[in-house]
Amino acid sequence: MKRIAVALLVLTALAVVPAAAQVGVKFGAMPIGSSWYVYAASYSKILERALPPGSSIEVIPQGGGIANPLTVSQGKADVALANVATSRWAYDGIEMYEGRQARNIRALAGGLNKVFAVVIISQDFINKTGYDTVEKILQNKAAVRFVCKPEGSTAPPTARMIFAQYGASFDTIKSWGGSVTQVSGGQIPALMREGRADLWIDVVPPNHPAVTEGMLTANLKIVSLSESTIKALGEKGLYGDTIEPGSFPKQDQPIRTVNPGTVIIANENMSNDMAYLLTKTICESKAEMVEANPSIKPFVPEDAWKPENTGIPLHPGAIRYYREKGWMK
């Protein structure tokens, strides 16, 4: 009887222990059809299995590299995909974030894929001027016809930072007799092909459709940035990287450039336990993510905490996970 009484007491105690509370997580991504929307949807399915029963994750089908740091900072999303570079700019309050500094964003895991600043010059322009790098174009104040995506993309601020290393800007290019055209990425290959633009700077992953089209249909050359330019951009969150041969058509040599990176960020107010759980799940689900999204293959969980892959301070919950794994001291 005594044993029965003890067992009843234990069962009674267990019955009053509350189950883990359900949670709702808003995951910032990009519009439907984008790679980030697909990433967020895939991660959501994985994360829902790790959260308490009945929990849910809502993918926000808007935003992007520029908007998402502010979306998280303002509490409109709990977690989001963002660029390493734009997260750094938002944290520092520079570029498009002047007056909107986001000091309350924190990194969970970075280095998810490869996204490169791609510098493309028309071969006709190279033949005419002899300037086969962006540095030579800027140093010689050439009357170059420059084209890139509209504001809101990471391409314009990246181009401005490259130009600034040589005292140039969009306005000075115009003053040299050149031009600056900002149109949607899908329109740019035609401008290069028709000889209406000479220099194209974009921020894209390997095999990006617009760059692929441009390389296949026009006489273009992807060129490297100088190591001094790469070093200077690294101080602004654009870290040096190499585009491996074959990443784009007619690109048979490695190209040195910078990688704006992809990182998953959260608000500093997220609980340490939740940040730990999200970081753990992201890092330990690589195989499943790669099966659904091959472009995640470059992700190295052991390096997901490193500054060049995050750009901003880590969330304490993420630090706990990386130290627990022995990846971070």
pLDDT for 111-131, tens place per residue? 998 899 999 999 999 999 999
Number of other residues whose CB lies within 10 A of the CB of residue 10: 10
Architecture, CATH, for domain 116-259: 3-Layer(aba) Sandwich (3.40)
Which tokens in the block code for residue 253? Answer: 């040599």
Query: What are the helix (H) ranges across the chain?
Result: 2-16, 35-50, 68-73, 84-92, 123-129, 134-139, 155-164, 170-175, 188-193, 209-217, 227-234, 272-283, 286-292, 307-310, 316-325
Q: How confident is the model at residue 323 (pLDDT cuts 50, 70, 90)?
A: very high
60: which residues sit within 8 A by CB, 6+ positions away?
26, 27, 28, 29, 71, 76, 77, 80
pLDDT score for 183: 93
What is the greatest pairwise CA distance in the chain?
A: 99
In this predicted structure, the answer to whether residue 5 has a pLDDT above a threshold of 50 is no
Q: What type of residue sits at position 309?
A: N
User: Buried b vs exposed e over 105-135: b needs ≥16 C-beta within 10 Å?
Assistant: bbbbbbbbbbbbbbbbbbeebbeebebebbb
pLDDT for 236-272, tens place per residue? 889 999 999 999 999 999 999 999 999 999 999 999 9
pLDDT for 167-190, tens place per residue? 999 999 999 999 999 998 889 999
pLDDT score for 13: 37
Please give the C-alpha separations between residue 141 and each of 89, 163, 170, in angstroms, as whole numbers: 28, 11, 12
Q: What type of residue sits at position 216?
A: L
pLDDT for 272-319, tens place per residue? 999 999 999 999 999 999 998 888 999 999 999 999 999 999 999 999
* Percent of the chain residues topping a pLDDT of 70: 94
Contact 91, 103 (CB under 8 A): yes
pLDDT score for 35: 79
In this predicted structure, the answer to whether residue 106 has a pLDDT above a threshold of 90 is yes
Q: What type of residue sits at position 161?
A: M
Q: Is 14 exposed, middle or buried (0-12, 13-18, 19+ CB in 10 A)?
A: exposed
In this predicted structure, the answer to whether residue 205 has a pLDDT above a threshold of 60 is yes
Who has greater pLDDT, 13 or 138?
A: 138
Q: Model pTM?
A: 0.80
Kindly report the length of the chain: 329
Q: What type of residue sits at position 125?
A: F
Q: State mean pLDDT over 71-83.
A: 96
Which tokens in the block code for residue 10? Answer: 């234990």
Q: Specify the pairing of strand 56-60 against strand 24-28.
A: parallel
Which CATH number does 23-113+261-325 carry? 3.40.190.10
pLDDT score for 139: 97
Give the residue range(s) of CATH 3.40.190.10 domains in the chain: 23-113+261-325, 116-259
Q: What type of residue sits at position 285?
A: S
pLDDT score for 20: 59
Choose the weakest-confidence range: 30-34, 40-44, 103-107. 30-34
Q: How confident is the model at residue 153 (pLDDT cuts 50, 70, 90)?
A: confident
In this predicted structure, the answer to whether residue 98 has a pLDDT above a threshold of 60 is yes
Measured over the CA atoms of residue 30, residue 32, residue 37 and residue 43, the dihedral's sign is positive
pLDDT score for 1: 44
Mean pLDDT in the chain? 91
In this predicted structure, the answer to whether residue 16 has a pLDDT above a threshold of 70 is no
Which tokens in the block code for residue 260? Answer: 């704006």
Residue matched to tokens 């100088």: 226
pLDDT score for 21: 77
pLDDT score for 295: 86
